[in-house]
């Protein structure tokens, strides 16, 4: 019997069980950032908007506008403001309407509008 067949039997199934079960590699995938509203001041938001190369982050008065659809998961926002931005580890981001990918996050010390 060919050796590859024996080897395959011994190693078992390699196919992911997603979507029935979570995939173990999902947490290692590059993904969009998540923000800490406590650390998001106006200055921090402006810095994030400046370093974002794909215009996924912008500031609209007292809110940070994050477009998850435009995010390229480059990590420059995390490098620029590590206290305000972490890695969300989200990958299930498919949306049936484009506006649902745009998130508005209230900045610290700004009254809600």
Tell which one of 45, 48, 56, 77 touches another protein (CB under 8 A). Answer: 56
The yes or no reply on residue 108 touching another protein (CB under 8 A) is yes
Instruction: Say how many residues make up the chain.
Output: 113
87 phi and psi angles, rounded to 5 deg: -90, 120
Residue 49 or 107 having the CB closest to another protein: 107
Nearest CA-CA partner of 106 in 75, 67, 71, 61: 61
Whole-angstrom distance, CA of residue 51 vs CA of residue 49: 6
The residues binding another protein (CB under 8 A) are: 14-16, 18-19, 23, 25-26, 29-38, 40, 54-56, 66-74, 86, 88, 90-98, 100-101, 103, 105-109
């Amino acid at each position: 019997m060919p050796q590859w067949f024996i080897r395959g039997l011994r190693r078992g199934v390699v196919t992911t069980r997603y979507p029935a079960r979570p995939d173990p590699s999902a947490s290692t995938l590059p993904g969009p950032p998540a923000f800490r509203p406590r650390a998001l001041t106006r200055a921090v938001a402006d810095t994030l908007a400046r370093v974002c190369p794909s215009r996924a982050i912008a500031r609209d008065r007292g809110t940070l506008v994050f477009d998850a659809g435009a995010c390229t998961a480059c990590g420059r926002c995390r490098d620029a403001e590590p206290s305000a931005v972490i890695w969300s580890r989200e990958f299930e981001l498919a949306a049936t309407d484009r506006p649902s990918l745009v998130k508005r996050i209230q900045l610290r010390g700004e009254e809600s509008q």
